[in-house]
Each structure stands twice: as C-alpha cells, then as structure tokens.
Structure 1
Amino acid sequence: MAALDRRRLRTDSVAKSAHHLPKADDTNEFSVSLAKAVDPLILALDVGSTASRGSLHDAQGVPIRGYRHKVPHSFTSAGDGTSIIDADQVVEELASIIDAVIGTRKELVGRVKGVAIDTFASSLVGVDANHRATSPCYTYADSRSTPQLAQLREEVDERELQQLTGARLHTSYLAPRFRWLRENEPEQMAATKRWLSLGEYFHFRLLGKARAGTAVAAWTGLLDRRTGDWSDRMLELARIDRSQLSLIARPTQPILEVPSGVLQRWPALRDAHWFAPIADGLAQNVGAGGRDESTIVTSMSTSGAMRVLVHRTPEEIPYGLWCYRIDDKRSLLGGAINDVGRAVDWAARTFALPEGVDSTDIADRPYRKDLPVFLPYLTGERSTGWVGGAKAMALGITESTGPEDLARAVMEGIVLSLGRVAEQLKEAAGDVDRLVATGGVSQNVPGVQQLLADHLGRETIQATFKRSTLRGTAVMAAEVLAPEISAAEAPRDHTFKPREKHREHWDRLSERFEDGYSKLIGS
C-alpha cells in the first residue's frame, strides 16, 4: 500500500480491535445477521462534523450486525471564522475503521463488492506533487472568505450563476475560498498541485488516484449543473485552473484497480469497487427513504437541511435554495442551515441550564409569548439569505429572561429557519406525500420535531434508526452493484401531528423573526 506508506498511519491502538468488533446495540434494531445478509455486501464510510464512521451493509441497504466502528473528532474553530480539520487525521481514522470492521476476517472474503464513502460538504484539501497535504481541510463552516464573497457579488449577477451551478455564492463554496487562499496563503497556493475534497484525499492517499463524484463536485459551487462538468465561467471567477481539480466521475464509474498493499492489508476487499465520494446530505436523504419526489427529508444533525431528490433537472431554482446535480437524471433540491445540533448543544452549555434540566425538557415545555426571538447563525447563514458572515442575534431579551428561556428561543429559531427553506421548497417541488425527519436532534430531542410540525402545519415522520447517512452511502453503491435488488424500506416510528391551537403563536413569532432577519440580511 505504497500511497499510505509515505506517512505511517497510527493504527496500532485499533489493531487489537480488528478481531473484536463493536457489538450491536440491540438484536431488534434495523439490521441483519451476516448469515442472512443479501449479497453483494458494501462497506460504507462516513466523515461527519463530529466523527468518522464505518459499517457493513447488504445489497438492500440493511446494516449487518456487529460490523461497525466510530472514531470521534471535532473541527478546530476560531472567532475569525476558521473551521478546519487535519486531513491526515481523518485518513488515519478511516483506515482504522476499515481495520476494525473488515480487518482480515475470512468470512467476508468474496462477499464485499463495494467501498463507498461520503463526507461533509463542502471540503477542500491541497496536495503537492508527492501526495502530501499542503493545507488543512477547510470545512463548509469556514467563513474567512467573507470579504472575497462580497467582492464576487459586486462582479457578477448572482442569480445567473445560481441557475448555472445550482448554488448561490457563499463562503461554504469554493469560488470565494480560492480567492481567499490566493490572497492570504500565497505560499500554500504555490506549493499545491491539486485541490481535492476530503473524500478524494482519502482515495489519493490510499489508492494513489482520486476522482470527484458528481455530487461532491456539485457541492463546490463550480459545477455546471446541466453538463455535469466543471464550469469554465466559475473556474475563471475562482481563479483556479481546471488541471488542479480532479476528473469528475458519475456514480456508475468506480475505481476498479487498487494497489496490492491495500489488498494485502484487507484481503476481503480484493473484489471491491471503490466508489467516488458523495456528499453527506445526499447520503442522508437516500438513507432516510427520500429517493424520489414523494418525500422531503429534514436533517437535524450538527447542521440541518430540507431536501427532495427530483428525477429531473429543474429549469428554474428559487433564489434561496440550491440544486445539486447527482447524475444525468437526478438532482437534489433544497436548502441548508449551518447550526442545528451545534446550536442546541451550544445553548445548553452556554446558558448553564439548571441541574436536572436538559434540552429534551426545554423542547417539551408549553409555548410562551414572552420569549426572545433567536436567529441561530453561530457559524454564518446559508439558506435562504446566504449571508456567510452572519452572526447569531437575540431580540427581546429582558431582565426576566432566564437561561431556559434562551435555550427554548434557540430551538424555535432553528425551526423558523427550516420553515423558510420549506416555504421555498414547496414553491419548487410542490406538495409532497410525506416529510421525514432524521438526525441526532430529531432522535435525542424529539420535541424539536413537534415544534417543526406545529410551525409547518403538517405531519412529520420520525426516522428512528441511527446512521441513515451510512445507509444512504451503501444504497447509492448498491444501485450500481445490484440494480435488480430493491432497497429495504427504512423504518420509521412516531408521527408528529400539527397542533392547530399553536398556529397563532407561530404566525406571531414568524413576524418577529422576519423583522430581525431582514435587518440581518440588509446589514
């Protein structure tokens, strides 16, 4: 495995665990035993904001009990907008996960046919001619390119570019980030031969080659959403040469030839196709059952989103949303907010809730008219205003406002932000049959999902199984490896019904929120 030997991976601490896999939480969970799993099997890897994960799935997208592993991590953040993570650290995490899940287990030889990976989007790592990282991995939450974003907006018609790429101009995307790098990190830019997403970097280090999946390329804001190729117009604005970016691979174009060292380390992967990386938002949508226009999936994880997978290329995109090309026939339409779980955790930590009171208690409390309005933009705002440098704001704080009031206001602010996305999504996708909510906040603080149902005035279904993102990554690979096998229906539990008696509360709160929001956007 020559590509990895250039920098020895620190996997000694997990080597012992390769033969002692983590146990399943419960034999009744959404899973199947290896003996009953439907071949071909797929190893799914996921790099999120808080951890790297891996698990084995069968051809129906069902997790196989006992074959999963997780390595926690966190972004390095600073008040100037910095949000980064060490790319080599993530490579080590993923290699250790494969050690733990696959290892040298003989019972998997001949059965694992795919290795698929998703990562948070968007991400960016520079590499030199020796495949070494020249930069940290810049994450979607890094907002230091705010001045360059403002400059870009002065130069171009943003609405025109949105229809070209499917993305607005924002600090999450790469045009302003490349400009920021050129102005602030000139030595780094000079040393870099190629720029990769985090998933591509993993393949580059492991396999010695990498291609950008269409969905990952779409999340850069540099892809022509109609042709599926890099946009010359966007490359010109980003001031980056096409030769410094990877070739784009459709979901049907995996990497087939891998170094012998990889096969020596993991013999069970000898027949595996390595699929180009996809974005975690797409994976979560598919994993939760949102595979067509009948379902909107609301993500309530560290960040949040509302998305619908459409089997077409929309002609016109509402100004507040994005539309990411997935392949020749499908696009993911929706909007995202940076801070959901991050905001809930921040509120619980910062406002010092009384002993015995947690976020679940706060979410379940009765509605009140005297609470502040909170705009939960701790790491900038995306949909629908796209103010990358936005800061959180609280309106209506009085002497009697307590920590529990502020924590509840944060939750209501999250719901209102998602509601703004839902309004524009309805305009573009029309009414859908169902709305499914997934992610850690939905499962751990279910009262927030009830607040969402009340605000939207429609039922929301709770996806109760964990690791839907991993499952979606496996399902996307299974579409290629076993197109004749249908994915299993994703389990769901509770349906939250809207309570009409609270309609007045949300109408009044929305007016107050919109007043603060308009001032934020205007500034």
Structure 2
Amino acid sequence: MPGNGSRVSRDDALDPLVLALDVGSTASRGDVYDAAGRPVQGGRKKVPHAFRTGADGASEIDPDQVVDELGQIIAGLAVEPLQGRIAGVALDTFASSLIGVDADGRAVTPCYTYADSRCGQQVAALRSELDEAEVQQRTGCRLHSSYLPARLRWLRETDPDRFAAARRWLSLGEYAYLRLLGSTAAGTATAAWTGLLDRRTGRWDPGMLATAGIGADQLSEVRDPDRPLIDVDDAVTQRWPVLAGAHWFAPISDGFASNLGAGAADETTAAVAAATSGAIRVLVPEIPEQIPSGLWCYRVDARRSLLGGALNDVGRVVTWLHDTVQLAGVDPDQLMTAAPEPTTPLVLPYLSGERSTGWAANARAVITGASTATTGAQLFRGAMEGVALSYQRIAEQLRTTANPTRILASGRVTQDLPSWLQVLADVLGTPVEPVTLKRATLHGTALHALEVLAPDTPRAPVPTAATLNPVSAHCEYYRDRAEQYDRLYRAVIATP
C-alpha cells in the first residue's frame, strides 16, 4: 500500500472514515482519514490560537473559544459528499489541562494549561506532606505544577470563590465534548495525565483526590478507546447530519496520539516529539512495575502504558530566540549544520519551568559562557544544543527501563529546523530517523479510533527521511557538554 504522505481521493479512500481533531498549543486542527490511516482529499482545517501567558507563570486559554474553533472545523469537514462514510470522531488535546464548570456545564474558570506554573508553592507543600516516590509509582506522575493535585490546591487556596463555584472538573477535551455533544467522558490517556489516576487499576485514586480537595463524583467517567460515546444529543445530528451514527471517542492526550501517528506503536521504537513542547516516549505493554524517578508512566488503555519524559520548551525556545535575539542574515537551519564549538554558550532552556527529569516547576532559563563577543547566532546554537541535552537526560533514564532499537522524530521543530536533528543524534549518540509526515499527532488520533473501527485493515506506512547517524567526534564533545550541563543544573536549578 502506498504511504500516507499524500492525500487519497474520496473515491479511493477506504471506509470507514474518521474525522480527527487536535487541539495544540498554537492551533486547533482537523482532518479526515480513511481506514488505512491516509488523509482524504478535501480535508485539513486549522484555526490558530495562543495561550495567554504572564510573568507570574500563568498559561491559560479561553475554553469556549476552543469549542467554537472545533465546531468550525467539524462543519468544514463533515460535508455532504461523505454522508454515511464517517464512522468515528476522535479528539486529542494538549495534556494536563483543567477547567472548572458549574451545574449547567458552563466554564467558571479559564482553561489552565500544562505550562501554568503558578502552583509552585503548592508543589513544595505537597512534597513535604507526601512520599513523592510512592505517589509516582502509584499514579505514574511526580508532584509538579503540570499535574492537577497542586493546581487544584492552588486554586482552592488563592481563589476559593471560583473553586467553590465549580461543580465538576474537566480537561479541555472533556469540556469541548460536553458543550458540543451534551455528554462527555475522559479517555484513559487523558485521565492518566492528571496525576489523579491509579495507573494499575485505571480508576481515580482516592488518596490523590483527597489531596486535591475534590471527590470522584466531580470528575468524568474514564473510558478506554473501545468504549466510545454513542448516545449523543439529538442536536448533534441536526447540526452535522453527516455524522449521524458516528462513534465519538473519548478525548485523549496528544502524547499518546503523537506516538501512534509517528509509527512508534510498540516497545521497539521511541518517539521524539518536538513541537511547542517536547517529549521522548515509548509505548510499553501492560503496567511497568517500577518507573525511573525522572520519568512518567501513563496508562493509555487496558493493555498499554506510555513511558517517557517531557519538556515544556522546545518550539517555544525557537520562537523566543526569533523574537528576542539578533539574527539578521543568519539562517538558523544552516547554523545547526556547523561542528560544535567550545565558545558556544551553555544554555539550560527552561523558559516555562522544567518537567523531566528534575521536575523543578519554578525553573527558568540559564545562560552561561556568554561574553561581549557572543553573537546572536552563537546564542541560538547554544539554546538548541541545550534543548537536545534536555532530551538526552530523559533518554538516559529511559534506557534503564526500556530498550527501543529505533528512534523516530516528528513535530514542527523537526520540519522547520531539520538540521537540528543531527545535533540531537550527536547528543543522544544514537541514529535518529525523521518522520516526514505532517501532523503526526492528528494522524495518531485517527489511528487510535481505527484500532476499534477497522482493526483488520492494513495501515499505510509512515514516511521517513534518511536516518541521521551520530558523528563520533561530536558525541565525545557532547558527553563533556552534558557533564557541564549537569553541574550547572545542580548548582542553580536542583533543590537540595
């Protein structure tokens, strides 16, 4: 079967079709895929948006704005020529979002995103109250600002009236379904990213609910992909007749979708995702007994877990550099092809806090080794080396539990700055295979629905570019650079 790098015509598309939706950090997107996982001609819709951020660590977005965006996208994709062919609708969103809703299902809070770090004080308090290592092994999550126990406590302590006004607590995907369908559920891969789920049972964890100050009745039912929503409000069919009878799959987190979409669907392959944020993840069978201290492990369904670590700042670093640093006459992609240079500044690229591996919620970027002779180009190179070194710290811990034989890289940064992947290969000391398929996350969202709707249909292969092999001399340089990075990290970021 031909690869899915190009679109298939509606006439040649294999039924059943899936309408896939993705809410990322910079836009909401949608597309239609056939049973082989190929995008169908006439698809692809996008509505840009941006987080509201603040110097205090705020990172929010208006949830009703996102609901409107998704409604526009669905209307543009569920068109009459596809009548009777779309069997499922699937949605992923950025992970670890939180919205409080009232008794009528209306938002009484903004959507707090994964990058909101205002609950740093509450993270510190929880770490003094709880055995963090035990919490991590039970829920798969560390105590951190990107998870809900600390965020809910922060809201309760700093805005008690708003906290009390919320009758339910939902992720962004759950809220979108509630507003669009009249009913909702949390996909297991969404629930796992909250820090409130027992990863072994797949049920809400009573201890963490008590810590957060909420009850299980304030959260959604948790559903694996094999239990989509079928009974939706009649108004849905009236609004989008083409979707009559479609299965609506409970929202999942973008990390799970990204792995599936890039072709990293089992323990033999690790996926490097590099978009606004980033991660290295491996889908492993069952429930791993022990998790390395710097990583997370999310239950995604009854038979699989996602093991890995995440970075808040990858594409965000690129954007900040373009907006802040003098780069006139500099081609950033060509800049990445040069051999490493010892005069390059060493950068810890924590613009919005650190997740893996140190979980320092209040961390901020550090630049050292800069002088009056340092150019904008050198600072750009140093910051992107710092991003690669952040990935290396995750990979080092990942290798203690999983041993993937292949590394696939996808995401906006890998396509906008492809030569950076050579730096990544040199830092990791491992070949890296670029995924050339655009919108791998959206593709994966369709695939998770197709696992249920069309389990026996062969999937089209994911297209990749030539593998980038590490340069031995560069590997030696970056091993020394990693040691410098670690010393700097311990001096200014790590807690005693």
- After TM superposition, the score normalised by the length of structure 2 is 0.98
Q: How far apart are the structure 1 equivalents of 2:105 and 2:278?
A: 33
Question: Which AA in structure 2 matches 1:321?
Answer: L
Indicate how the Cα distance of structure 1 residues 28 and 419 shifts in structure 2: closer, same or farther if over 3 A, else same. Answer: closer
How big is the alpha-carbon RMSD for the aligned residues of Structure 1 and Structure 2? 1.2
Residue 434 in 1 paired to residue 420 in 2?
no
Question: Which AA in structure 2 matches 1:482?
Answer: A
Conserved 8 A contact 2:189-2:252? yes
Residue 337 in 1 paired to residue 311 in 2?
yes
Other-structure match for 1:252: 226
Other-structure match for 1:158: 132
Equivalent in 217, 221, 228 of residue 202 of structure 2: 228
Other-structure match for 1:494: 466
Conserved 8 A contact 2:4-2:463? no
Partner-residue secondary structure (3-state), 2:319: helix
Q: Alpha-carbon deviation of 1:184?
A: 0.9
Q: How far apart are the structure 1 equivalents of 2:164 and 2:415?
A: 46
Equivalent in 103, 106, 109 of residue 129 of structure 1: 103
Question: Which AA in structure 2 matches 1:101?
Answer: L
Q: How far apart are the structure 1 equivalents of 2:322 and 2:332?
A: 7
Q: How far apart are the structure 1 equivalents of 2:123 and 2:302?
A: 30
Question: Which AA in structure 2 matches 1:390?
Answer: A
Residue 48 in 1 paired to residue 24 in 2?
yes
Q: Alpha-carbon deviation of 1:28?
A: 9.2
Partner-residue secondary structure (3-state), 1:522: coil
Q: Alpha-carbon deviations, 1:47-72, whole Å to 9, x = none?
A: 00000000000112111122110000
Other-structure match for 1:305: 279
Equivalent in 38, 45, 60 of residue 14 of structure 2: 38
Q: How far apart are the structure 2 equivalents of 1:145 and 1:300?
A: 26
Q: Alpha-carbon deviations, 1:167-212, whole Å to 9, x = none?
A: 1111000000000000111111111110100000011001111111
Q: How far apart are the structure 1 equivalents of 2:4 and 2:244?
A: 32
Q: How far apart are the structure 2 equivalents of 1:312 and 1:190?
A: 38
Other-structure match for 1:415: 388
Residue 392 in 1 paired to residue 365 in 2?
yes
Q: Alpha-carbon deviations, 1:67-117, whole Å to 9, x = none?
A: 110000000000000000000000000000011111xx3221111000000
Q: How far apart are the structure 2 equivalents of 1:258 and 1:239?
A: 31
Conserved 8 A contact 1:348-1:358? no
**Which runs of structure 1 show a deviation greater than 3 angstroms over 4 or more consecutive aligned residues?**
none
Q: Alpha-carbon deviation of 1:250?
A: 1.2
Equivalent in 181, 184, 199 of residue 207 of structure 1: 181
Question: Which AA in structure 2 matches 1:66?
Answer: G
Conserved 8 A contact 1:344-1:359? no
Question: Which AA in structure 2 matches 1:179?
Answer: R
Partner-residue secondary structure (3-state), 1:331: strand
Output aligned runs, 1:57-68, within 5 Å. Answer: 57-68=33-44
Q: Alpha-carbon deviation of 1:148?
A: 0.3
Other-structure match for 1:95: 71
Other-structure match for 2:398: 425
Q: How far apart are the structure 2 equivalents of 1:220 and 1:131?
A: 20
Point out the more displaced range, 133-142 or 203-212.
203-212
Q: How far apart are the structure 2 equivalents of 1:65 and 1:342?
A: 31
Other-structure match for 1:148: 122
- The count of aligned residue pairs is 493
Conserved 8 A contact 2:230-2:248? yes
Conserved 8 A contact 1:338-1:382? yes
Question: Which AA in structure 2 matches 1:409?
Answer: G
Alignment identity in percent? 53
Residue 513 in 1 paired to residue 489 in 2?
no
Other-structure match for 1:481: 453
Output aligned runs, 1:242-281, within 5 Å. Answer: 242-281=216-255
Equivalent in 200, 218, 223 of residue 192 of structure 2: 218
Q: How far apart are the structure 2 equivalents of 1:106 and 1:143?
A: 45
Q: How far apart are the structure 1 equivalents of 2:353 and 2:250?
A: 29
Partner-residue secondary structure (3-state), 1:63: coil
Q: Alpha-carbon deviations, 1:217-272, whole Å to 9, x = none?
A: 00001100000000001111111111111111111111101222211221110020
Indicate how the Cα distance of structure 1 residues 353 and 270 shifts in structure 2: closer, same or farther if over 3 A, else same. Answer: same
Q: How far apart are the structure 2 equivalents of 1:347 and 1:285?
A: 28
- After TM superposition, the score normalised by the length of structure 1 is 0.93
Partner-residue secondary structure (3-state), 1:67: coil
Structure 1 runs not aligned, ≥5 long: 1-26
Q: How far apart are the structure 1 equivalents of 2:6 and 2:486?
A: 41
Q: How far apart are the structure 1 equivalents of 2:63 and 2:4?
A: 36
Question: Which AA in structure 2 matches 1:276?
Answer: A
Partner-residue secondary structure (3-state), 1:253: coil
Q: Alpha-carbon deviations, 1:411-452, whole Å to 9, x = none?
A: 00000000000111111102x221000001111101111001
Q: How far apart are the structure 2 equivalents of 1:29 and 1:293?
A: 24
